[in-house]
Amino acid sequence: MEKYDLAIIGAGPVGLFAASFANLHGLKTITFDALDEVGGQINMLYPQKDIKDIPAFSSIKGKELVSRLFEQTENTKLTLSHKVKKISFSTGEDIIIDDDYQVKSLLIATGLGAFKPKTLPLSTTPELQAHIHYSMQHSEIFSNKKVAILGGGDSALDWALELSKTSDVYVVHRRNEFRGLESSVSQLKSLKNVELLTPYLPKELHLNNNRIELVLHRVGASHDFITKDVDEILVAYGFKSDNRQLRKWGIELENNLISVSQTMQTNLPHVYAIGDAITYPGRVPMIALGFGEAQIAISSIMQDLFPEKTMTFHSTSI
Ligand SMILES: Cc1cc2nc3c(=O)[nH]c(=O)nc-3n(C[C@H](O)[C@H](O)[C@H](O)COP(=O)(O)OP(=O)(O)OC[C@H]3O[C@@H](n4cnc5c(N)ncnc54)[C@H](O)[C@@H]3O)c2cc1C
């Protein structure tokens, strides 16, 4: 059985930073992620977005932030395409992960859980499916094309702004109001190559000479249909997240999120949690806040595992 001081579940931005901070403190660490790429929500949902609230960067692309975080983890072990299913406790105080890894402490950074996109509820063929996408991971697919983005939340607006730089964009939403930043909506309205189609719902799809005929139904008007010809469809209906695992592990939850103490400890011994997976009064789902929680958790884990050591909090001392 492989042995580590610490296992981190989740290689989203917060799990990645925790792994590098654990390495700075000399903890032998392994990090798991269910996906085959690191970066969690950033990588899946908004790799091209210019993020403007990361300290020391006036603006940084999601993809760039993930790659910098990944670089920092170079001395730690990363196991991708591994969804952690089981945790148990050995007769000592160690924690056993999926019967294969024995660790002294565990840090849960699973965000909202392993996620799957909500799919487009229309009948399609395999040929049509090839033109229906659920993420911007491979943005080059959409360059210089006509793209319909379906949805009205932050992801739909972010994707539309990004794609407007290279493509003609329709944003199709079932309500007149969008669930995102008003500034993004205003910016989109000002762009000549972007059309906001509201309140419309996609009704049918047909493939004609490798182009998609997208039939839209005006919500509330039974005979009002329009058809748009597009090359690709990007569905932004959100994600279903699955964190049922946490309950099975015996972790105390509040509204499906993990309750933690001020030191990020869960109700289980040597099990800590950080990032979007957790809740406490006033918490907001922000990356930088998760970084701070990672520092609190790793410092607590150090004190927990090595109570005899005089703790050095900073990576360098003067
Ligand atoms: C559209 C959008 C825009 C946003 N913009 C910003 C912004 O501008 N600034 C900002 O600060 N925040 C922003 N956020 C929020 C930010 O993305 C989250 O706060 C952040 O991703 C949380 O990081 P995390 O590492 O806790 O979780 P996640 O990013 O959700 O990563 C969790 C990881 O855990 C993995 N995982 C889950 N369960 C398991 C398991 N059982 N085994 C193995 N792996 C598992 C998942 O596969 C995933 O990779 C935005 C969010 C969205 C949706």
Beta carbon of 45 within 6 Å of any ligand 1 atom: yes
Contacts of 294 by beta carbon, 8 Å cutoff, 6+ apart: 14, 17, 18, 21, 109, 274, 275
Same domain, 106 and 169: no
Ligand 1 centre distance from Cα of residue 239 (Å): 12
What amino acid occupies position 286? Answer: M
Same domain, 231 and 276: no
The predicted pLDDT at position 316 comes to 64
Among candidate residues 105, 96, 127, 125, the one with its CA nearest the CA of residue 2: 96
**Number of domain units in the chain:** 2
The predicted pLDDT at position 116 comes to 77
55 CB-contact burial (10 Å; exposed 0-12 / middle 13-18 / buried 19+): exposed
The predicted pLDDT at position 295 comes to 97
Same domain, 193 and 90: no
Domain limit, last residue, from 205, 235, 265: 235
Beta carbon of 287 within 6 Å of any ligand 1 atom: yes
Domain limit, last residue, from 235, 260, 281: 235
Residue from 17, 108, 110 whose mutation best tests the ligand 1 pocket (most atoms within 8 A of CB): 110
The predicted pLDDT at position 318 comes to 57
Same domain, 257 and 168: no
- The pTM score is 0.77
Asked whether 222 and 121 are in contact (CB, 8 A), the reply is no
Same domain, 257 and 230: no
Query: Could you give the CA distance from residue 41 to residue 62 in angstroms, rounded to a whole number?
Result: 10
Same domain, 245 and 306: yes
Same domain, 100 and 196: no
How do residues 232-267 score in pLDDT, each as one tens digit? 999 999 887 777 888 899 999 998 899 999 999 999
Domain limit, last residue, from 196, 214, 235: 235
Which residues are registered as beta bridge partners of 211? 208
Residue 100 annotated as binding site: no
The predicted pLDDT at position 315 comes to 66
Query: Could you give the CA distance from residue 35 to residue 242 in angstroms, rounded to a whole number?
Result: 13
Q: Which two tokens stand for residue 130?
A: 């090839």
Residue 276 annotated as binding site: yes
Same domain, 313 and 297: yes
Contacts of 168 by beta carbon, 8 Å cutoff, 6+ apart: 145, 146, 147, 193, 194
The predicted pLDDT at position 11 comes to 96
Beta carbon of 154 within 6 Å of any ligand 1 atom: yes
Asked whether 287 and 45 are in contact (CB, 8 A), the reply is no
Asked whether 287 and 7 are in contact (CB, 8 A), the reply is no
Beta carbon of 290 within 6 Å of any ligand 1 atom: yes
Residue 84 annotated as binding site: yes
- Name the stretches of the chain with pLDDT < 70: 115, 311, 313-318
Beta carbon of 112 within 6 Å of any ligand 1 atom: yes
Beta carbon of 12 within 6 Å of any ligand 1 atom: yes
Same domain, 213 and 148: yes
Residue 265 annotated as binding site: no
Ligand 1 centre distance from Cα of residue 42 (Å): 6
The predicted pLDDT at position 85 comes to 92
Same domain, 221 and 254: no
Query: Could you give the CA distance from residue 302 to residue 317 in angstroms, rounded to a whole number?
Result: 18
Beta carbon of 158 within 6 Å of any ligand 1 atom: yes
Residue from 20, 36, 37, 42 whose mutation best tests the ligand 1 pocket (most atoms within 8 A of CB): 42
Domain membership of residue 155 as a residue range = 119-235
What CATH number does the domain containing 228 carry?
3.50.50.60
In this prediction, the answer to ipTM > 0.95 reads yes
Strand pairing of 29-32 and 2-9? parallel
Contacts of 209 by beta carbon, 8 Å cutoff, 6+ apart: none
